[in-house]
């Protein structure tokens, strides 16, 4: 009788142990802090369904794939993590064992502990299940609360405790890319740098021309101006209105003031032909200053699809695409050899360039040489072009040419939901025009804020007026 009781007790203990083991194996004792997500994510022609700790891929009402019976899926994300143009499926998963499907050769035996992993899969239409594993992480080693889309196709990882971090695809696998923090870039833009001959009488150095904006320029992460007149190295070519040629020493003063970007897409860009464009771009490139809106001889046709209309700039972890276009070049035609020497208003090319820019940049800044001289209000064509630029992804539009200051406004495209801040005209930065309105310098100031999840906003846009 006693032996029967002992055997019964042993059997009972074994049964309880087996039941507990099975419960553990089925995930009954996973940590209570886990927030199990439930989602329906469109993926190619099907749907990724995340429900009751299970993930499955459905198409035409049929479940075609799931990661595994002993996989407990905490969160899911669809993202082009490797930036190859095709979206991947990313799962935050709990499973038995510290490794993925394949154990490293140096591991002699597999463990069965429940561990957290990140697994990445790809849609392949030729496969019966449509889904193929492309990367299976080992045990992450710390507790992740959630995953999400990070900036520039990174993975935003939020741990249960501590600071979020960003991970990017490198070679073959996810690599730590740094803490997930908000980045900011301050941008300042000035108006027409219009060098009339009376301004040159005093002779170099010409640093005093920019004293009125120097503090604003030097405080900005990036500062720009509309370079209305091209530079010439031969004093015999120095000239004023109507076809300008400006001493190189003025370029020294522009650089000394702290400008990082000059805009050459304007109606005087071809005043000295390709010689003026080549000389001006070459001068500023040697100074480490970017140029937008024009191309040196031989460079313009390198990207007729609109890519070479973009000037790229990056500061503080924020990547900008800068574009610049002019409505005309005072009737001076571009040569057959250099048909894109100056970027002119061409809506097909502009749309193409904006598409490339918006796809790769955190923010898109467009400079427009447009409107009517001395008019204090933007005309209907300026407003129409502003709406066009908004629709195609411009975050900020900065105008020049009227020589007087025009309004700042935010516009929204109802179809796309895009919003754009438009500075219609900044007036003159430097000129010898005597009209009081032409003596006012407009300065555009704003901050581009990039959140860790890739959200971009333009904050604190201001249109300042400074009397020279």
What do you get for the CA distance between the two ends of the chain, in Å?
Answer: 110
Coil, strand or helix: which one is 450?
A: strand
> Would you kindly state where each structural domain of the chain is located, as residue ranges?
27-179, 183-467
CA distance 372 to 340: 24
The yes-or-no verdict on residue 305 having pLDDT over 80 is no
By the 10 Å C-beta count (0-12 exposed, 13-18 middle, 19+ buried), 78 is classed as middle
> How confident is the model over 16-25, as a mean pLDDT?
48
pLDDT in tens, 168-209: 998 888 999 999 999 999 999 999 999 999 999 989 999 999
- pTM assigned to the model: 0.86
pLDDT of residue 39: 95
As a whole number of angstroms, the distance between CA 151 and CA 4 comes to 67
Task: Give residue-wise pLDDT tens across range 227-267.
Answer: 999 999 999 999 999 999 999 999 999 999 999 999 999 99
Distances, alpha carbon 200 to alpha carbons 119, 176, 203, 206, in Å: 66, 54, 5, 8
**Torsions phi, psi for 363 (to 5 deg):** -150, 150
Classify residue 294 by its DSSP letter.
B
* pLDDT beyond 60 at 61: yes
- Confidence category of residue 455, pLDDT binned at 50, 70, 90: very high
Are 246 and 238 in contact by the 8 Å Cβ rule? The answer is: yes
Domain 183-467 has CATH 3.40.50.300: no
Question: Residue 252 has what pLDDT?
Answer: 98
With tokens 């007036």, the residue in question is 427
Does the pLDDT of residue 96 top 90, yes or no?
A: no
Decide if pLDDT at 25 tops 60.
no
- Average pLDDT estimate for 299-319: 83
């Amino acid at each position: 009788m006693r032996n029967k009781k002992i055997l019964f007790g042993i059997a009972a203990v074994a049964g309880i142990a087996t039941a507990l083991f099975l419960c553990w194996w089925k995930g009954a004792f996973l940590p209570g802090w886990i927030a199990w997500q439930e989602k329906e994510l469109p993926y190619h022609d099907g749907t990724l369904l995340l429900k009751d700790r299970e993930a499955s891929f459905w198409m035409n009402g049929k479940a075609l794939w799931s990661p595994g019976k002993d996989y407990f899926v905490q969160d899911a994300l669809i993202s082009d993590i490797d930036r190859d143009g095709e979206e991947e499926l990313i799962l935050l998963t709990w499973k038995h064992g510290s490794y993925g499907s394949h154990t490293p050769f140096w591991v002699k035996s597999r463990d069965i502990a429940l561990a957290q992993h990140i697994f990445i899969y790809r849609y392949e239409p030729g496969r019966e299940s449509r889904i193929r594993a492309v990367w299976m992480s080992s045990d992450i080693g710390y507790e992740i609360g959630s995953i999400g889309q990070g900036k520039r196709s990174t993975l935003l990882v939020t741990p249960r405790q501590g600071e979020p971090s960003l991970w990017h695809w490198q070679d073959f696998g996810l690599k730590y890319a740094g803490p997930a923090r908000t980045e900011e870039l301050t941008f300042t833009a000035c108006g027409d740098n219009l060098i009339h001959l009376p301004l040159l009488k005093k002779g170099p150095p010409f640093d005093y021309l920019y004293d009125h904006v120097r503090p604003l320029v030097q405080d900005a992460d990036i500062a720009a101006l509309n370079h209305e007149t091209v530079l010439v190295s031969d004093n015999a070519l120095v000239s004023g209105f109507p076809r300008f040629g400006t001493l190189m020493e003025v370029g020294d003063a522009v650089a000394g003031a702290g400008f990082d970007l000059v805009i050459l897409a304007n109606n005087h860009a071809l005043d000295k032909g390709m010689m003026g464009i080549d000389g001006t771009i070459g001068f500023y490139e040697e100074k480490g200053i970017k140029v937008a809106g024009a191309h040196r001889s031989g460079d313009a046709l390198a990207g007729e699809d609109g890519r070479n209309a973009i000037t790229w700039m990056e500061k503080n972890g924020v990547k900008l695409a800068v574009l610049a276009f002019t409505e005309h070049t005072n009737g001076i035609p571009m040569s057959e050899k250099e048909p894109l020497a100056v970027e002119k208003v061409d809506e097909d090319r502009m749309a193409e360039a904006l598409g490339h820019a918006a796809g790769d940049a955190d923010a898109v800044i467009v400079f427009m040489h447009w409107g009517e001289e001395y008019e204090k209000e933007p005309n209907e064509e300026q407003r129409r072009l502003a709406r066009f630029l908004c629709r195609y992804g411009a975050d900020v539009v900065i105008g020049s040419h009227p020589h007087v200051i025009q309004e700042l406004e935010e516009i929204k495209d109802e179809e796309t939901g895009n919003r754009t801040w438009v500075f219609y005209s900044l007036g003159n930065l430097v000129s010898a025009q005597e009209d009081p309105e032409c003596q006012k310098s407009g300065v555009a100031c704003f901050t581009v804020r990039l959140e860790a999840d890739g959200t971009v906003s333009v904050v604190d846009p201001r249109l300042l007026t400074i009397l020279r």
